Amino acid sequence: MTNTKETKRKSILKNFYPDYIFEKVEDIPYDLISREGIRLILMDMDNTLIDFKGKSSKNLKKWIKMLKSKDVKLYIISNSFSEEKVKRVSKELGVKYFFKAKKPLSRGFKMVCDFFPDISKKEIMMVGDQLFTDIYGGNKFNIKTVLVKRINKRENFVSKFKRPAEKVILNHYYNKEENSEKCRV
């Protein structure tokens, strides 16, 4: 590959690189959120907040409560078409939702962020388990992105189909010296 091609390929891959990687949503430390000046956290739902059976963990609930006490706003932004499901999770976690978001398109991100006109993009973070929807979408929208490990391996066909390509990108990401120590997902 020529040098220009190589550079181009690398810059394309960068669109899929998260700013941070954690094993679970509730592992994102408040220290980091505060240091980055984050005031709004957008969260994917499937396999990020809930498992395949629709369950979420006690620790996640604690984390949400802690952030609310620090006045950090939270919002679920899901591609799910089932409002019933998103509504149930939203109610259980006490976090508002936006469904049929069509991530990675910017439209959903924009609609949710427009609910918070006093919060700038620098103060917003997207958390999710998928590179092609959550991370790419968040990066394109110019907000901070956090990749988390999917809660369980069982998932829908479309997501499963994208995993091998995600692996290739993540390998490139981890091969970079500055990322080599990062959490492996």
CA separation for the pair 59, 40 (Å, rounded): 20
Considering only 26, 44, 123, 166, the residue that binds Mg ion (CB under 5 A) is 44
Task: Calculate the dihedral angle through the C-alpha atoms of 98, 99, 101, 107, rounding to the nearest 10 degrees.
Answer: -40
Nearest CB to Mg ion, comparing residues 30 and 51: 51
With binding defined as CB under 5 A, does residue 129 bind Mg ion?
yes
Considering only 24, 38, 41, 47, the residue that binds Mg ion (CB under 5 A) is 47
With binding defined as CB under 5 A, does residue 155 bind Mg ion?
no
Q: How many CA atoms lie within 13 A of 18 on its CB side?
A: 27
The structure tokens 């103060």 sit at 123
CA separation for the pair 41, 44 (Å, rounded): 10
Q: Which one of 7-15, 125-133, 160-168, 175-183 is the stretch in contact with Mg ion (CB under 5 A)?
A: 125-133
With binding defined as CB under 5 A, does residue 139 bind Mg ion?
no
Nearest CB to Mg ion, comparing residues 38 and 76: 76
CA separation for the pair 136, 13 (Å, rounded): 10
Considering only 46, 67, 138, 141, the residue that binds Mg ion (CB under 5 A) is 46
List residues binding Mg ion (CB under 5 A). 44, 46-48, 129
